[in-house]
Chains A and B, each alone.
Chain A
Amino acid sequence: MSSVEPFRKLVKLVARAFYDEEIPPKGANRSKSDKSDNRGIAVVILDALTRRQWVKEEDLARDLRLHPKQLRRTLRVLEEELLILREHRRETVKGAKIYNAAVAAVSEQPTEREGEEKPKVHTHSYCCLDYAQVYDIVRYRIHRSKKKIKDELEDRNTVQEYICPAASCGRRYSALDALRLINVYDGNFHCELCDAELVAESDKLAAAELGDGDGEDNARRRRREKLKELYDKLEKQLRPLMEQLARVKDLTPPDFGSLEAWEKKAIATGRLAGTDPSTSDLSKPSHGQGPTGTPMPFLGETKVEVALAGGDSKKEEEKEEAAQLKVLPPWMIRQGMNLTASQRGEITKQEVKGEDGVSPDGPDVKDVKPADEDKEEVQRKIQEEYLKAYYAALLQRQQQTEQQAAQPVTAETPVAATDDEEAGERQVGMKAKRDASDEVEGEEEDEEVEWEDATAAEPVDTTVASQDTSFTNGDVPDTAPDAGGEFDDDDVDWEEG
């Protein structure tokens, strides 16, 4: 049901296809101390991220037994590659608490780190996979690499690209920018930013390896072969990835939203599920819904969670729950520190009641200890009594009317009339349905038919017996669509003729 699994697999495949090697950090700011071998680390990190949603980078480093610096370096690269989202925020105690609550709500074994955490005021970084982006990025990447080989293979007239050789710049230009790039003094192309002379990008994939061959024709043929080989290899090696891409094509990628949104949602869903521990598979509802709250078609009903986030709504919720006399989980009370004392007292009292095993509603409670009850409870009782009385009265009246209806046997006409009406109503409903399906045929014609129908049916209704009416009524609409079609045809013929 959940669309997460295919996307997780996609990320894993991507990791192995493109990030298995040592990742060269982009830009020239690579220091000499970076010599450490980080082969495959990206794969490990990406895999770990598929099992998490938003995660604090410190926690991730600890889980993976990685040095935070090393982790951060790789994450930065992955961020540049647009695979992951990162957020940095100056951590307050409150923020850390929210995050911990969210993690506790989402993780499968929630109790693990609740006590140990002592949040300090620091800037913390969080990261999360961006599945939707990954999907797009990978497709683009494959498209680009294929196009590059293909273009060269077919010797198509590609647009030459130029690169700024300056290490700090590295800007790319295309031949379409040529007019802007000419330097008036030497007539060559210069970078717009740093004024370095641009070099043409050598995208000849095969030429570099082949050297100057024997005879131009021969070299050309060999180059083509080489390119073809390269292309086939690309196709073959990327096939699993491409298949996975095709598989996730129509699925909605899991979207956790921004860190803040995710936390709110995770806590909210955690709270909902917390009342019933058996349904603790939290990841599914949270995946099913994007940050904007657009529900997926098959997980429509999870819209409750948004309202629970703020403090005010929390209070309201608890009031509501108090009214329903639900047993509140202990952590919930701890969460709602901003409760008024009376509310908390109320809740605990009710909880005690519930735990005693006394059924909270019904006359028992009233009989046992009526003095204990506070005003609300009393009011509720009164309402209940009133309702009971009301229903009793209602029942009585109903019985009376039934008796009345049974007594005069001779009064057939009203009964027939109601029958008639019912038949008519049903007929109308049917017709409406038919109209809806016939809308394609042009609405004006249909309306006309209905008109005729109605006028034809009305006199029949009054004169003929109820069964007959329903029969004719049932008959006429059957022909109605046909008639409509005929009208339609006639119209067209007329216009054409």
Chain B
Amino acid sequence: MFFHIYLERNMQLHPRHFGPHLRDKLISKLIQDVEGTCSGRHGFVVAVTAVETIGQGLIRDGTGYVTFPMKYQCVVFRPFKGEILESVVTMVNKMGFFAEAGPVQIFVSNHLIPDDMVFQSGDVPSYETSDGSVRIQKDSEVRLKIVGTRVDATEIFCIGTIKDDFLGLIGNPGGGA
């Protein structure tokens, strides 16, 4: 799920950036630092949308670096149990398959794949129905439901299922439906 939230961060800036573009430098450094990171609490920071305030800088003893408290608005993505996501398959093995939904990695174990789909090893490992009408392989697009999340301080990992109504293959590799 996506959220638009306020976050705060203390940015440290080297004195060489002090000048007319200090503010721009701060903002670009902030974006560079936080976009794409993940915190267990808020999820993945997708994009910084606005910088709300930049507080008074504070010179740090001994180094000359200056710390600016910054408050900014950003879009975060945090997966939840029970959430439905659309994802792209990245790897298939006999234990199940891995998929990605944006920055989140999801593992679907084989017992959460419908019973009529069986693992086919070979050049391109896949799960497919006996009549071959449905085939999940690398780069397939799959709709899945999250059944478990593992949230660490800097990492979020999910496990999903496609064993439910309207879940499963939604697009073949190369964009064909």
Interface on A for B, CB 8 Å cutoff?
Answer: 157-160, 162, 175-176, 178-179, 182, 187-189, 200, 216
Verify A200–B111 contact, CB threshold 8 A.
Answer: yes
A178 touches B98 (CB 8 A): yes
Which of B93, B110, B125, B159 lies in contact with A159, CB distance below 8 A? Answer: B159
Contact (A176, B150) CB under 8 Å given A157-B112, A159-B159, A200-B109: yes
List chain B residues, Cβ under 8 A from A188.
93-95
- In the assembled complex, the Cα of A200 lies from the Cα of B112 at a distance in Å of 13
A187 touches B91 (CB 8 A): yes
Q: Which residues of B contact A (CB under 8 A)?
A: 91, 93-96, 98, 105, 107, 109-112, 115, 125, 145, 147-150, 157, 159, 161, 163
Residues of A within 8 A of B148 (CB): 157, 159, 175-176
The residue of chain B having its C-beta at the shortest distance from the C-beta of A181 within the complex is: B95
A85 to B109, CA, bound (A): 40
Interface of chain A: mostly helix, strand, loop or mixed: mixed
Select from chain B the residue with minimum beta-carbon distance to A157: B147
Bound Cα distance A178, B158 (Å): 10
Measured in the bound complex, the distance between the Cα atoms of B107 and A182 in whole Å is: 11
Q: Kindly list 19 other residue pairs between chains A and B, CB separation below 8 angstroms, not including A157-B163, A189-B95.
A: A157-B112, A157-B147, A159-B147, A159-B148, A159-B159, A175-B107, A175-B148, A176-B107, A176-B148, A176-B149, A176-B159, A178-B95, A178-B107, A178-B109, A179-B98, A179-B157, A182-B91, A188-B94, A189-B93
Taking a contact as CB atoms under 8 Å apart, the answer to whether B105 and A175 are in contact is: no
A200 neighbours in B (Cβ, 8 Å): 95, 109-111
Total A-B residue contacts, Cβ distance less than 8 Å: 55
User: In the assembled complex, which residues on chain B have CB atoms less than 8 Å from the CB atom of A179?
Assistant: 98, 105, 107, 157
CA distance A397 to B125 in the complex (A): 110
Q: Looking at the complex, which one of A158, A162, A176, A216 makes contact with B157 (CB distance below 8 Å)? A: A176
Q: Given A189-B95, A200-B95: A178 and B110 within 8 A (CB)?
A: no
The one of A162, A175, A187 that contacts B159, using a Cβ cutoff of 8 Å: A175
B145 smallest CB distance to A (angstroms): 8
A158 CA / B157 CA spacing, docked (Å): 16
Task: Kindly state the separation between the CA atoms of A496 and B46 in the bound complex, as whole angstroms.
Answer: 45
**Nearest 9 Cβ contacts at the A-B interface:** A157-B147, A160-B109, A178-B107, A176-B150, A187-B93, A157-B161, A175-B159, A175-B109, A159-B148
Interface pairs (8), CB distance under 8 Å = A159-B159, A160-B110, A160-B159, A178-B95, A178-B107, A179-B105, A187-B93, A200-B111
Question: Complex Cα distance A162/B145, Å?
Answer: 21
In the complex, what distance in Å separates the CA atom of A187 from the CA atom of B150?
21
Contact A178-B91, Cβ < 8 Å, known A160-B109, A160-B111, A200-B110: no
In the complex, A158 Cα to B110 Cα: how many Å? 12
Within the complex, what minimum Cβ distance (angstroms) separates B142 from chain A?
15
- State in angstroms the CA–CA spacing of A187 and B111 once bound together: 18
Q: Whole-angstrom distance between the alpha carbons of A157 and B154 in the complex? A: 26
A176 to B145, CA, bound (A): 15
Bound form: Cα–Cα A187–B93 in Å? 6
Residues from chain B with Cβ under 8 Å of A216 in the complex: 115
Distance of A163 Cα from B76 Cα, bound (Å): 35
**A106–chain B nearest beta-carbon distance, Å:** 49
Closest A residue, CB atoms, query B159: A175
Residues of A within 8 A of B111 (CB): 160, 200
Min distance, Cβ A221 to any Cβ of chain B, angstroms: 15
Write the chain B residue with the least CB distance to A178.
Answer: B107
* Distance to closest chain A CB from B86 (angstroms): 18
Contacts of B159 in A (CB 8 A): 159-160, 175-176, 178
Most central of A176, A178, A179, A188 by chain B CB within 10 Å = A178
Q: Chain B's nearest CB lies how many Å from the CB of A155?
A: 8
Residue of B nearest to A202 (CB): B111
- A157 CA to B94 CA in the complex, in Å? 19
The CA of A200 and the CA of B111, in the complex, are separated in Å by 10
Q: How far is the CA of A23 from the CA of B150 in the complex (A)?
A: 35
| Distance between Cα atoms of A216 and B98 in the complex (Å) | 28
Q: Which residues of chain B have C-beta atoms less than 8 A from A182's C-beta?
A: 91, 93, 98
Give chain B residues whose Cβ lies under 8 Å from the Cβ of A189: 93, 95
In the complex, chain B residues whose CB is within 8 Å of the CB of A158: 147
Residues of chain A within 8 A of B98, CB atoms compared: 178-179, 182
Bound complex: CA A290 to CA B138 (Å): 60
Bound-state CA distance A189–B96 (Å) is: 10
A156 and chain B: residue at smallest CB distance? B147
Contacts of A162 in B (CB 8 A): 95
Compute how far the CA of A179 lies from the CA of B110 in the bound complex, rounded to whole angstroms: 15
Task: Report the separation of the CA atoms of residues A189 and B97 in the bound assembly, to the nearest whole angstrom.
Answer: 12
Min C-beta distance of A271 to chain B, whole Å: 54
Give A179 to B107 CA distance when docked, in angstroms.
Answer: 8
| CB-based nearest B residue for A176 | B150
